[in-house]
Amino acid sequence: MSRLHYIQAKQATITEAVQRISLWRIKNDKIVFTNGCFDILHKGHVTYLAQAAELGNKLVVAINTDASVKRLGKGDDRPINSEEARAFVLSALGFVDMVILFDNDTPLEVIQALKPDILVKGADYDPNETDLSSKKYIVGSDVVKSYGGEVKAISLVEGFSTTGIINKMKK
């Protein structure tokens, strides 16, 4: 398999992801799940994803589609990179095992379908928050905890954000 094909093969639909994960589970792999826009990949993203990957055997990253990013209100010019480009770049990271696109405002349906062992978000979220209206609430945490899974927050790298990069470029 060519390296390019290897990168492309990491991208999956939810149906394909469920099938792949069932095979991983036969080998007792621990599935780690995270999600985000990952619009302009930077050191903060890579550090976060590498740390998430260390929590298990397989890292699944769900990314918002372009339409979903626009609905999040990140700005009229967002996303900068298309969903295909963002999925490709994330798939090129050696510690990312699968990339899935989701079009809803939250990844709840993806989490329910995949049933990850560990759900991860950045430290701007709180794994213990139960108030669904709180900005610190991790969507799907109640689902993951209901079957004995773990929910974790990973420290963010100071000084790195997509919004900060865009603002710097505009100056």
Query: Does 18 score more than 90 pLDDT?
Result: yes
Check residue 160 and give its pLDDT: 66
What's the one-letter identity of residue 88? F
Place of tokens 């990952």: 38
Domains belonging to the chain, first-starting first, are 3-170 (3.40.50.620)
- For 126-131, what is the mean pLDDT? 96
pTM score, whole prediction: 0.94
Q: Dump pLDDT digits (tens) for 67-126.
A: 999 998 777 788 999 999 999 999 999 999 999 999 999 999 999 999 999 999 999 999
